[in-house]
Amino acid sequence: MTGDREAARYNKLAADRGDAVAQSYVGLCYAEGRGVPRDDREAARYYKLAADQGNADAQVNLGRSYEKGQGVPHDDREAARYYRLAADQGIAQAQYNLGVYCADARGVFQDDREAARLFKLATDQGMKEAQYNLGFFHVHGRGGVPRDDRESVRLWKLAADQGYAKAQYWLGQFYKQGRGGLPRDAGEDARLFQLAAGQGHAEAQAALKEKPGIFTRLFGGGAEAADDGRHRQEEQERQRKAAEDERQKRWREEQDREREGS
C-alpha cells in the first residue's frame, strides 16, 4: 500500500539519523513486509540499533528474533538478555517471555520464584497468558506462591474472559471437579469447553465427547461423542491423581507449543 511505503520511507530517513523510535518502526516494517520487502536480517539490524539505545519495543522484538533465529543466529541467552532489558522497563510481553525462560531454564538458570514474580507483573497489566501461567503456579504451589485453587480460578477467569482457550478449558475442568470453591456445574463446564473447543483446543474437544450430544451437535462427532457416567468418573479420578511431575511436564510442553505458534 502507498501509505505503508511512505511511512516506511519517512521513518527510514529518521532511523538513519539515529532516531530509536523510527529504527524500531522500520525493523517492524521489514519483519512484516510492510511498505518494504520482508527481510528478517534488516529487521534485526534495525531492532538492534534501537534496542541498544534503550527502546523497549525493539528490545522485545530483538529478543524474539534471537529466540526464533530470525535474521540472527538462534541464541536463548541473547533473547533472555534483551527480554530482561525490556521487562525492567515494564513491558508485559517481555516480562511474560522472560518468565517462561526462567521457568524452563532457557538462556538463564531455572528460577521459579523469578518466573512467578515476572508472571505477576505481566498479570497485573492484564496479560492473559501470564494470568494463565500464574494460575498454574498456584495449582502446584510453584515459585514460592501458595498452593491455592481459588486464586487459580480467579486468574483463569480473568484470562478466560479475554477469550484465552487454555484458561477456558482448565476453568471448565475445575467446574467439572468442583475445585477452587466452584460448584460442580455441568452446564458451565460444557459452556467453557465449547468456547475453548471452538478455538481448536484439542483437550476441550475431547472433554465435550464425554457429554452426550454436545460434541456431535457442534462438531459432527458421531456416535463416539456419547459416553457413560462411569467413564467420566474414572477420567475425573485419573486427573485428580495425576503426578505432580507429569502436570509440570505438560505445562512446559504447552509453553513450547504456544511460543512456537506465536
Tell me, yes or no, whether 241 lies in a domain. yes
Residue 51, all three cell numbers: 534496542
Task: Tell me the C-alpha to C-alpha distance, in Å, between residue 9 and each of 40, 51, 159, 182.
Answer: 18, 20, 39, 56
250 plus 215 within the same structural domain: yes
Indicate if 166 and 262 belong to the same structural domain: yes
Domain assignment of residue 248, yes or no: yes
Q: Is residue 195 part of a domain?
A: yes
Cα separation, 150 vs 145, in Å, equals 13
Q: Among all chains, which residue has been given the C-alpha cell 526464533?
A: 68
Q: Containing domain of residue 220, as a range?
A: 111-262
**For position 255, what pLDDT does the model report?**
74
Domain-located, residue 103: no
CA-to-CA distance for 192 and 171, rounded, in angstroms? 7
How far is 7 from 22, CA to CA, in rounded Å? 10
What per-residue confidence (pLDDT) applies to 230?
Answer: 47
C-alpha–C-alpha distance, residues 92 and 126, integer Å? 9
Q: Mark whether 131 and 202 lie in a shared domain.
A: yes
What is the DSSP secondary-structure string of 69-112? TSSS---HHHHHHHHHHHHTTT-HHHHHHHHHHHHHTSSS---H
Residue 209: give its domain's CATH number: 1.25.40.10
- Last-in-domain residue among 89, 121, 137: 89
Q: Could you tell me if 166 and 243 lie in one domain?
A: yes
Q: What is the pLDDT of residue 253?
A: 72
DSSP code per residue over 128-192? HHHHHHHHHHHHHTGGG----HHHHHHHHHHHHTTT-HHHHHHHHHHHHHT-TTPPP-HHHHHHH
Do 254 and 151 lie in a common domain?
yes
Question: Do 190 and 66 sit in the same domain of this protein?
Answer: no
Kindly report the pTM of this predicted structure.
0.81
Length of the chain: 262
pLDDT of residue 258: 73
Whether 104 is covered by a domain: the verdict is no
Regarding whether 135 and 82 lie in a shared domain, the answer is: no
Q: Do 182 and 231 fall into the same domain?
A: yes
Question: Is residue 105 in some structural domain?
Answer: no
Q: Which of 29, 55, 89 is the last residue of a domain?
A: 89
Domain boundary at 89, 121, 136, which?
A: 89
Question: Residue 3: its pLDDT value, please?
Answer: 83
Domains held by the chain: number = 2
The pLDDT assigned to 254 comes to 74
Residuewise pLDDT in 10s, the chain (262 residues): 578 899 999 999 999 999 999 999 999 999 999 999 999 999 999 999 999 999 999 999 999 999 999 999 999 999 999 999 999 999 999 999 999 999 999 999 999 999 999 999 999 999 999 999 999 999 999 999 999 999 999 999 999 999 999 999 999 999 999 999 999 999 999 999 999 999 999 999 999 887 755 444 544 543 333 344 445 555 555 665 655 566 666 667 777 777 666 5
Q: Is residue 101 part of a domain?
A: no
State whether 71 and 128 are in the same domain: no
Say if residue 181 is in the same domain as residue 229.
yes
Please check whether residues 65 and 117 belong to one and the same domain. Answer: no
Residues 165 and 120 in one domain: yes
Question: From the centroid of its chain, how far is CA 125?
Answer: 14
Residue 201 falls within a domain, yes or no?
A: yes
- Residue whose C-alpha cell is 504447552: 254
